[in-house]
Amino acid sequence: MTYLELVNDVLVRLRESTVSTVGETTYSSLIGKFVNDAKRQIEDSFNWNVLSTTITITTTANTHSYSLTGAGQKFQLNDAINKTSVIGLTNISFVEMNRKLNFQTPATSIPSEFVFSGVDSNGDTKVELFPVPDGVYSHI
């Protein structure tokens, strides 16, 4: 069913007239919000494989911070790997990453650790890698 069909299905059950767009009336807009709330609760109740997506980051030498374009701020991480070097990345604490990047000159090499670090101007989560990449690597 489409979003509009779901909203109209609820409206019919409430003995209301159907609409041609969800935002057609304030009542249909409210029902749309309820439908979205129910969808979010169902999505959050289980780790559904069909909702999984892979986000790839391609590094550049001497750049340690990257945006996870399309991830937004609400996501679940299943795995993080450097597929160029065939290694898994370890999620470390923000404090540990902060110290590695600021207490000394950061090492440059094949990234093996990461931390989530805020969001970019589009609302996508940012990630920092360590060691700072010394070349081009593909991470997923």
Instruction: Read off the pLDDT of residues 97-128 as tens digits, 9 standing for 90 and up.
Output: 999 999 989 999 999 999 999 999 999 999 99
Query: Exposure of 11 by Cβ count < 10 A (0-12 exposed, 13-18 middle, 19+ buried)?
Result: middle
Q: How confident is the model at residue 94 (pLDDT cuts 50, 70, 90)?
A: very high
CB-CB contact of 78 with 54 (8 Å): no
| Distance of alpha carbon 77 from alpha carbon 72, whole angstroms | 12
Residue 45's pLDDT is what?
Answer: 87
Q: What is the pTM of this model?
A: 0.72
Instruction: Read off the pLDDT of residues 66-81 as tens digits, 9 standing for 90 and up.
Output: 999 988 888 888 889 9
